[in-house]
A and B are shown apart, each in its own frame.
Chain A
Amino acid sequence: MTATIPAVRVSVLADPAADTTPSTAWGAVRVFAWRSLLKLRHTPEQAADAILIPFIFTVLFTFLFGGALAGSPREYLQFLLPGTLVMAILLMTVYGGLSLNTDVSRGVLDRFRSLPAWQPAHVVGTLAGDLGRYLVASAIVVTLGLVLGWRPDGGVTGVVAGIGLALVFAYALSWVWAAIGLVARSPQAVSMLSFVLQFPLTFASNAFVDPATMPDWLQPWVEANPVSLLVTAERELFAGTASFGDVAWVLVASAVVVAAFAPLTFHLYRRRTA
């Protein structure tokens, strides 16, 4: 197909009456969140990630480890599902950083940075849009779990609260990836780093195995691992037995991560040149 210039001249001038004041900070955040969801829709491999990975984790772990670790898959599922949910979501927190890195390499950053809108909106909104991904993944893990025989005693409230808490933590963690995405040389470097960091972080936690069965030298790390804190809180919320402390620790950890990484990310954003 060819695309040619129209034979009749069409004016490129904006209607002066439609001239507007730049969008507010909140408006700009919403635009970037919307953009991030549009990309998810246009990039089938990423959408597949949000659907397939949680699906595979849930099914595979339940039947692979279920018999060996807890006697029966159904029994193990009560223990495993919160871990699977956390892992599926946390693995996706890298996408915001990937997206920012891609924006740098394609020069899109220049275009946004020369606009009069609130600049950090690009980061805040991109990460917020990724909440959509996490929600899709959560829905899949939960639905599949219910089909396979998972029965959360916490009921609907417990499940909704559990997903909410996981989303808060994932949003916080995605700021780390945003900072990395702004310094990394290429999207490949970001993906690579995500494998190197995320697998130890999730497997060296109480997500899949009771830490009591792990070697002594590993146990202090497993207990201090924020992922363990999150998984514990998830188990308690789903079971309807969560204490204030369980949830508060996760919220505090999330707040600390954002407080440390948001200013760093904004600084990197302003300084980064393609």
Chain B
Amino acid sequence: MRDDPTAPAVETAGLTKTFGQTRAVDGLDLVVPRGGVYGLLGPNGAGKTTTVRLLATLLRPDDGRAVVLGHDVVDDAAAVRRELSLTGQFASLDTDLTGRENLVVQARLLGRSRRSAHARADELLAAFGLDEAAGRLVNTYSGGMQRRLDIAASLVRTPRLLFLDEPTTGLDPRSRRHVWDVVRELVDRGTTVLLTTQYLDEADQLADLIGVVSGGRLVATGSPDTLKRSVGGDVLEVRVAAADAVRATESLGLPADAARPPASGAEHDATTVLSLPLTRPVREVLDVLDDAGITLAGFDVRRPTLDEVFLALTDEAVPA
């Protein structure tokens, strides 16, 4: 099959994988467009890793099909492997070789000469801040260093499609940001990145599109903004003195449960927060309160976070 450049990078239909009684991936229909970052989110055990392993030809689907860059993952697995790189959820390193040897082995298998393989290994070691540790056995590396080497190993060749399964778990903040930069650089060069993560801020930072899976199925998909809007619009939070709370609620025509104490000890105890959907202009709300003679302690416009999206979408859909 020829690769059609307008077709999605990944397209699955009814993709299914069961392990004994567990339906790890259960009729998944996923479309990952070309270019950009697609973030796959979902609770533990939702089937993210299984999906990635199916797409990377490491597992055979029990049912349904998956096409990666125009190649069927079952019928044309070899062609799929020519296009993609994978950094799995758990490190896949030769711990009794040195960091450099790990990369050289990859580069040699990808067809580089001895010399060119060493040159490429050194480039990557420098880019990932591992040049000083290059000659040490990987079993002496810290967890974060191993993680970085693992990511480096999947970039020996710049792939057209990169799967990163929780790439930044266990990385310090600087290393995490570095991995984000690496992802952005790859995307600029035209690589499509499929990323799973438990850090919703990471998905927010990187992903152009997000798919939320739960129980092996896709339960929502869209841009981070669309998803946030889907669980509710922007919210106006108004802080007033506790003594004014009832009067304020009434004058704004809000239900009694719109008033709640502030989240933590951050505010003075004597204030109350009123949350109201941002369906009328902020000024109007403030004017109403002003007319009622209520003094504002402060106000905030807040958009739901991806955390709230995540909790709302995956709450009721806990896998059996």
Binding site for B on A (CB under 8 A): 1, 3-6, 9-14, 16, 18-23, 27-28, 31, 34-35, 38-39, 42-43, 103, 106-117, 273
Instruction: Identify whether the interface residues of A are mostly helix, strand, loop, or mixed.
Output: loop
Q: In the complex, A43 Cα to B112 Cα: how many Å?
A: 27
Give residues of chain B (84-98) contacting chain A, Cβ–Cβ below 8 Å: 84-86, 88, 90-98
- Interface, chain B (partner A; CB < 8 A): 53, 56-59, 78, 81-82, 84-86, 88, 90-98, 101, 105-106, 108-112, 116, 120, 123-124, 126-130, 132-133, 137, 142, 145, 152-158, 174-175, 178, 181-182, 185-186, 189
A-side contacts of B156, CB under 8 Å = 14
- A38 with B97: CB separation less than 8 A: yes
Cα distance A22–B129 when bound, in Å?
27
7 residue pairs of the A-B complex, CB under 8 angstroms, read A13-B185, A106-B94, A108-B93, A109-B92, A110-B88, A116-B110, A273-B59
CB pair B145–A9 under 8 Å, yes or no, is no
A201 and B185 alpha carbons, distance in the complex (Å): 58
Cβ contacts under 8 Å, B126 to chain A: 6, 10
Contact of A39 among B97, B109, B189 (CB under 8 A): B97
Q: B181: which A residues are within 8 A, CB to CB?
A: 9
- Give the nearest-CB partner of A42 in chain B: B96
Docked-complex contact A23 and B97, CB < 8 angstroms: no
Could you count the A-B residue pairs with CB atoms below 8 Å apart for me: how many are there? 135
Q: Pick from A6, A42, A113, A115: contact of B110, CB below 8 A.
A: A115
B82 contact set on A, CB distance < 8 A: 22, 116
CA distance in complex: A11, B81 (Å): 24
B239, chain A: closest CB distance, angstroms: 41
Identity of the chain A residue whose Cβ is nearest the Cβ of B179 in the assembled complex: A5
Which B residues touch A28, using CB under 8 A?
A: 109
B86 contacts A114, CB within 8 Å? yes
Residue on A nearest B94 in the bound complex, by CB: A108
- Complex Cα–Cα for A43 and B154 (A): 26
A5 with B108, Cβ < 8 A, contacts A13-B185, A14-B120 known: no
Docked Cα-Cα span, A4 to B173, in Å, equals 11
When A22-B109, A27-B111, A110-B86 are in contact, do A6 and B127 touch as well, CB less than 8 Å? yes
Instruction: List 6 tightest A-B contacts by C-beta distance, closest first.
Output: A107-B92, A20-B111, A10-B127, A111-B92, A5-B129, A116-B82
A103 CB → nearest B CB, Å: 8
Q: Find the A residue at minimum CB distance from B151.
A: A12
Q: How far is the CA of A38 from the CA of B135 in the complex (A)?
A: 13
Q: Which of A1, A42, A111 has the most CB of B within 10 A?
A: A111
When the two chains form their complex, are residues A14 and B157 in contact, meaning their CB atoms are under 8 A apart? yes
B22 CB to nearest chain A CB (Å): 14
Contacts known (A3-B145, A39-B97); A20 close to B132, Cβ less than 8 A: no
Please tell me if the beta carbons of B178 and A39 are within 8 angstroms of each other in the complex.
no
Q: A13-B158, A110-B88, A111-B153 are in contact. Are A18 and B182 (CB under 8 A)?
A: no
Q: Are B108 and A38 in contact (CB under 8 A)?
A: no
Q: Which residue of B lies closest to A2 (CB)?
A: B142
> Given A6-B129, A109-B92, 15 more contacts at CB 8 Å?
A3-B145, A10-B123, A10-B126, A11-B127, A12-B124, A20-B110, A20-B112, A22-B110, A23-B110, A108-B94, A110-B58, A111-B92, A114-B81, A114-B84, A273-B53
Known contacts: A11-B127, A18-B116, A23-B111. The answer to whether A3 contacts B88 by CB under 8 A is no
A106 touches B93 (CB 8 A): yes
Complex Cα–Cα for A111 and B155 (A):
12
Note all chain A residues with C-beta closer than 8 A to B106: 111, 115
| Inter-chain contact B174/A5, CB cutoff 8 Å | yes
A43-B96 in contact (CB<8A)? yes
Cβ of B153: which chain A residues have Cβ within 8 Å of it? Answer: 111
* CA distance in complex: A12, B189 (Å): 11
For A110, the chain B residues whose CB sits under 8 A away are 53, 56, 58, 86, 88, 92
CB-nearest residue of chain A relative to B133? A3
